[in-house]
Amino acid sequence: MSPKELMISRYEAFVKKDWNYLAKTATNQSVEELELMPELEWLKLDVLNAVGSQVEFKAYYRDKDGVGLLHEKSNFVQEDGVWKYKDGELYPTKVQRNESCPCGSGKKFKKCCIK
């Protein structure tokens, strides 16, 4: 499994709240720590770039405050020949008013889920 494939599978695990898988595929995350994460409804994943051991992505979510996004460049390392999530650099990015709404409605964000 490549870092990009691992990133996608970890996103799917966040959607399913599969804390065991997430802990198993990371170098420094415990199940207990992951279970404390805020309650989010994950809407969409866009992988922007995948080069070597780094994957840049935008993951869109909905919480009690509306729709937001997590923009990160993730770093992966190999342990015993298996890729694992190490850490990431977060970017202060927001959903743009004129982009398609991540909820999948087909409308622009400003005409849909913006608050």
Task: Assign 76 to helix, strand or coil.
Answer: strand
Find, among 112, 92, 91, the residue nearest to 100 by Cα: 112
Burial of residue 23 (CB within 10 Å: 0-12, 13-18, 19+) is middle
Please state which of the four CATH numbers 3.10.450.50, 3.30.70.100, 1.10.530.10, 3.90.1150.10 is assigned to the domain occupying 3-111.
3.10.450.50
Q: What does the domain layout of the chain look like in residue ranges?
A: 3-111
> pTM for the whole thing?
0.88
How confident is the model over 62-113, as pLDDT tens digits? 988 889 999 999 999 999 999 999 999 999 988 888 988 888 889 999 888 8
Number of C-beta neighbours around residue 59 at 10 A: 22
